[in-house]
Structure 1
Amino acid sequence: MSVSRQKKVYLPTATRKNQYITVGFTLTDELLASYSDLTNCYQEFSKLVFQVADKYELFNVHVVASDKLPMVRFHSEAYCLTTEEQLRFFYNPAHHEANRLHTLPGYRAKKLKVVFLATGTELRSHSAEFHAKVQQFLAEIKPLLPVQGVPTKIRDHQHISYDFFAKAKGLKESYAYKLRAVDSRYKRRECNLPESVSALNYVTVSLPMGRRIKKQLAAENATSFGEKYQRVADHFIKATSENKLNRVAMVANGKVPLVRNSKYEQLNSTAEFQMVGFDPSNAAPDPICHWDDTKLAEAIRFVIVAAKEDQKDEGYGRFMNQVQDAIRQFTNQFDMDKEHIDVIVRFHQHLSYKA
């Protein structure tokens, strides 16, 4: 592969793009005391948020006062599903707008989290403009709060997702992506970020445990689910290692993997989330594997984290080409119905900073 081609990755034209930004306001005792009660606090705060957001043409905004983690996905219909720990937003950025307050009766949140869902088309090319609008929103709303100096943090989440077997389903057309680093893209579009920005870039792969894969694993004479998972992990680790991808994880316990920088964040898994921590300064960490020996998961989820040397101005094209080669090598070890099974690959780009 030529050097210029390595800088680009070719993905299906049906690839989905998402971007959402969260701004967390710590709900201090002083801030809460500025309102008549908890309900009034949530209502007045959200009213102010929606008013200021509309001024900056931020049209899909949610105030979350339940400490549940937002998860955002593309869908032709707009709806929000809630679990004990998650708020799952499904929407089409080209069509859907909303202003909504999410609370739990009598629950005092640790943070008042404002979730901005990107709207319109061409989300990646307008991502810096969207981020700048959120910065303007924050600069205006801070002096309007009844208490000054409330700690805030911005988290910018962007991802693109596609079915790895799109071609087998007849979707032959592809588009070349350079996948530049977020801070480089923003700098070129005059969206200023502070120096102390934490960035994380990684890929998740979801492999459904379809009937044909289950039969293949059953035929391998494993005496426990743990042995079956170990064989899947061996195939995955071999494929990624041979493609020079050293920061990998496999999760097969029914939980959603959350990737974090273990150098700065304390990792505590929950009933719904499996924390997966990587220290960027560790050049050769051991593979991380989490599974439940007592049952076969509906899907096995894999994580591949980009290294510091991948964070070049030319983007993550080379990294994604390595990822695709590894997935191809890995999935070729199984008898899969590629015309019907969806192996969803999602490239995540996150950045965060105190504001």
Structure 2
Amino acid sequence: MASMNLHRVYIPTNARNNHYILAEFKPSDAFFDCFDDVESCYQRLARKLFAICDEHELFNVHVIANDKLPIVRYHDEAHSLQTDKQILFFYNPKYHEGHKIHYEADHKARKIRLLFLATGDELRANAASFHSKVKKALDDLKEQYEQQGLSYKVRDHQHLTYDIFAKVKGHRESYGYKLRSLYPRYQARNCTLPEQHSEMSYVSFSIPITRAIKTEYQSQMRPGDYTQFYRSIEDSFLTLCDQLQLTHVGFVADGRQPLVRSSQIDKSDANRELQKLSFDTSAPDGQVRSIWEGEHLCDTMHFVVVASDKDKKDVGYGKFMNNAETMIRRLTGKLPINPEKQDVIVRFFQHISYQD
């Protein structure tokens, strides 16, 4: 899907769009004291929020009060799945709606998270309008709790998801994206954001360690010692990134799911399920985050490529994305992956966050 126009990337028309906004606040003891008990706190908060959302035509909204991190993915069937640390939401923006609260009895949440999922068609075209509606709803809720002085951290997440091998499988239609930054896109559509904000764009993809890969690299794998294998994959990945001036990259192969964050806001951290990777996009020499355990063979290898400040062009991230796609094709070309039968799912993320 290379383009003669380096600042436009051609992505399959069957790519899936997701857009959601996460607003979180830390409830104080004084906040909880306003209610009879913890459960009534969550229930009354949810009722007020959902009534406000009806007024602003926000049709898929969740209150999360169990201190689990929401992860949003596209799916034709709407459902949620919880682990110890995460709550995963699967939905199709065209069809699925709902207002729901997620909490555990007697659990006093450290953070209460309000999740707004975009619905309808043309999510990217309507992104600024959706953000404006959410902002108005949050302002209305803040007025309802004026004495408690709610202060939100707002995170706007958008991503495009597609199979890098879609064309090989016969889907030849594509659409050219410039992938402009969120801040100027929103400003141009009269959606005002604070000047003090953090913005990140990045690409992620994953490669499962299949039987074919194990066979191909069997000489580099010993029971309890997979160091040579991981180093081989890591070297190929980093070499290709260097050739294409992709300077801020991550490789995670320890069984955890990577989460990309700005070092302005979060430090790298981990728990049993998630590996937080913090990047300083202004670092001139680039940054590499490589995390794997030589004594264990994981099921899936995760790769992350973050756009640096140098990749941020007025016209958009099209050139960065073209380079990332080229790297992915070259890397997968070195591995025993059948593009006609296997998918390598690529996600292009755009995040913007601020304190409100």
Cα separation, partners in 2 of 1:173 and 1:43, compared to 1, 3 Å: same
Query: What is the aligned partner in structure 1 of residue 303 from structure 2?
Result: 302
Structure 2 residue runs without a partner (length 5+): none
In the TM superposition, 1:56-95 aligns within 5 A as 56-95=56-95
1:51 is matched with 51
CA-to-aligned-CA distance 1:96-129 (integer Å, 9 cap, x gap): 0011000012111012211000000110000000
Tell me whether 1:186 sits opposite 2:164 in the alignment: no
The answer (yes or no) to whether the contact 1:31–1:147 under 8 Å persists in 2 is no
- Name the CA distance, whole Å, in 2 between partners of 1:45 and 1:149: 14
Kindly indicate whether residue 117 of structure 2 is the aligned counterpart of residue 117 of structure 1: yes
Say yes or no: does 1:167 pair with 2:201: no
2:171 is paired with a residue whose SS is coil
Q: 2:245 maps to what in 1?
A: 244
TM norm structure 2: 0.96
Structure 2 CA distance for partners of 1:312 and 1:82, relative to 1, 3 Å? same
Aligned-partner SS, 2:252: strand
Deviates more, 1:290-299 or 1:91-100: 290-299
| Alpha-carbon distance in structure 2 between the residues aligned to 1:2 and 1:143 | 50
List aligned pairs for 1:218-257, cutoff 5 A: 218-220=218-220, 224-257=225-258
Distance 1:25 1:239, change over 3 A: same
Establish whether residue 346 from structure 1 lines up as the match of residue 347 from structure 2: yes
8 Å Cα contact 2:220/2:228 also seen in 1: no
Q: CA deviation at 1:219?
A: 4.0
CA distance in 1, matches of 2:174, 2:214: 31
Residue 3 of structure 1, CA deviation: 9.6
Q: Aligned AA for 1:204?
A: S
Corresponding pairs, count: 355
Q: Measure, in 2, the Cα distance between the counterparts of 1:2 and 1:202.
A: 18
Instruction: State the AA in 2 paired with 1:117.
Output: L
Q: How does 1:36-47 map to 2 (within 5 A)?
A: 36-47=36-47
Provide the alpha-carbon RMSD of the alignment: 1.7
Q: Over residues 161-198 of structure 1, what are the superposed CA-to-partner deviations in whole Å (9 max), with x where a residue is unaligned?
A: 11111122221221111101001110110000011011
Partner AA of 2:193 in structure 1 = L
What is the one-letter code of the residue matched to 2:187?
A: K
* Contact 2:20/2:116 (<8 A) preserved: yes
Contact kept, 8 Å, 1:267 with 1:277, in 2: the verdict is yes
Deviation digits for residues 299-330 of structure 1 (CA, Å, limit 9, x no counterpart): 10001000112222211000000101111111
Q: 1:224-273: CA deviations, max 9, x gaps?
A: 21210110001101111100101111000110101112243233211111
TM-score, length basis structure 1: 0.96
Residues 272-351 of structure 1: matches in 2 within 5 Å? 272-351=273-352
State the partner residue of 1:139. 139
Query: How high is the sequence identity, in percent, across the aligned residues?
Result: 41
Separation of aligned partners in 2, 1:145 and 1:331: 52
Q: Quote the residue 1:104 is aligned against.
A: 104
Secondary structure at the aligned position of 1:168 is classed as: coil
Aligned AA for 2:152? Answer: T
Looking at structure 2, the residues matched to 131 and 266 of structure 1 have their Cα atoms a distance apart, in angstroms, of 27
SS of the aligned residue for 1:231 comes to helix
Tell me, in whole angstroms, the C-alpha distance in 2 between the residues paired with 1:314 and 1:353.
Answer: 23
2:114 aligned partner, one-letter code? V
Partner AA of 2:44 in structure 1: E
